[in-house]
Structure 1
Amino acid sequence: MLAAREEAIIQAVNRLLAEKGFDAMTVDEVAADVGIAKASLYKHFQSKEELAAAAMVRVMQRAEEFLAAVDAQLVPLDKLKVVVRWMLETLLAGQMPTLPSQNSSLRAVLLANRDYIDALMRISDTLGRWIESAQADGSVNSRLPAVAVLYTLYARACDPVVEFLKAGGQHSDAEIVELVMCTCFEGLNSRG
């Protein structure tokens, strides 16, 4: 029962973070969404930051599962494209938590969370290998530091362009994914 309750809490946090972001989400909303008292919520998680960290650990677990399922026969660039497509689709489905990049208390909790850090390192290592291979075969610009490419790909998971295009109502989710994929992998250069 405890595990089921924590799972329900994490799902609620994930949804609320995706919808509202960290700053706007409240612990009261999480408790109400799960149907428990705020005091009961604090028996599972000590703070709003711990709630967000638990949601991020869950996303990292899903990302690792996805990476493990990527077709090993794909060329490195196509592996990277598959991952970015998954991130964009997850974001559009409201399943990607939106966290502030400059919140020091949240950052401290995330950096202290061994599960989060370990998963982040494993994911970064996998993507880093694919980036370096794509640079070696000439499909990704080798003048760019691999870490800059990695952070560019990670940024797609919280890309405000996706939200702006969705709010504009002129494009379907599939079209938004293709537009962002194009700007990410082909850039803004004219293709004369």
Structure 2
Amino acid sequence: MGIFGKLSFKDQTFRLREDAILDATTRVLASKGFDLMTMDDVASEVGISKPILYKHFKSKDDLVGAAMIRLIEGALDFLERLPQEETAMGRLRALLAWALRVRLEGGLPFLPSTSPHVRDMLTRNLRYVTRVLKLNGILKGLVGEAKKTGELDGELPDDVILFSYYSRTCDPAVEYLRLYGKMDDQQIVAYMLDVCFRGIAVRP
């Protein structure tokens, strides 16, 4: 029995509407950005009134925080569902591929990298910070394992590798490849993974 089987019809409706609100928030953020997005935009996108929207989220900051928390939880859930036998490098590659696919589908607004206000707001959100620290800890462990197996450069500091890895999720090359590269999404993801993990220099 899934989680909805344990909820009343009213609670199920509330939960489904909340998911729809967060989906709409992500789409609006991807198209307009945080500063230009309004609660009216989100309510209109979902097809609900603004008073109903405020029953779920009391402010734009609250709404965006919830959308970003759901994104991090999606990444954590994806990692947990990978096969136990998957290597550290395999997990790093798989998660980046997942993040790029989510982004290409419009579900990964790279807000913290573009908005100081959003960065400040999220650092005050304990639920978000807790999940980010958990994800970062997992990834740092994977980087360490991949270094031990010689799959990642052991001379590079962990933070250099991690922040380079994170930057790939908001690399503008993705949009340029989609607009001008005449590639489908699967090819874009494959090439971005190749550039991230193998570089652009000629291989010996």
TM-score by length of 2: 0.86
Match of 2:172 among 138, 147, 160: 160
Establish whether residue 22 from structure 1 lines up as the match of residue 34 from structure 2.
Answer: yes
Residue in 2 aligned with 1:40? 52
Render the CA deviation track for 1:59-102: whole Å, top value 9, x for unaligned: 11111110101222122212211111111111112121231525
Establish whether residue 101 from structure 1 lines up as the match of residue 113 from structure 2.
Answer: yes
* Larger mean Cα displacement after TM superposition, 20-29 or 160-169: 20-29
Residue in 1 aligned with 2:6? none
The higher-RCO structure (CA 8 Å, 6+ apart) is 1
Consecutive aligned runs of 4 or more in structure 1 exceeding 4 Å deviation: none
Match of 1:59 among 54, 71, 74: 71
Q: Counterparts of 1:184 and 1:110 in 2: how far apart (Å)?
A: 27
Q: How does 1:1-192 map to 2 (within 5 A)?
A: 1-192=13-204
* Larger mean Cα displacement after TM superposition, 114-123 or 13-22: 13-22
Offset at residue 106 of structure 1 (A): 1.8
Secondary structure of the 2:35 match is: coil
Offset at residue 6 of structure 1 (A): 2.2
Offset at residue 140 of structure 1 (A): 0.4
Name the aligned partner's letter for residue 68 of structure 1: E
TM-score by length of 1: 0.91
Secondary structure of the 2:173 match is: helix
Structure 2 gap segments, 5+ residues each = 1-12
Q: Counterparts of 1:161 and 1:102 in 2: how far apart (Å)?
A: 16
Name the aligned partner's letter for residue 53 of structure 2: L
Structure 1 gap segments, 5+ residues each = none
**Percent of aligned pairs with the same residue?**
37
Is the contact made by 1:49 and 1:105 (CA closer than 8 Å) also made in structure 2?
no
Q: Counterparts of 2:36 and 2:150 in 1: how far apart (Å)?
A: 43
Render the CA deviation track for 1:147-166: whole Å, top value 9, x for unaligned: 22111212222221111111
Aligned in 2, Cα 1:24/1:190: closer, same or farther, shift over 3 Å?
farther
Aligned residues: 192
* Root mean square deviation, CA, Å: 1.8
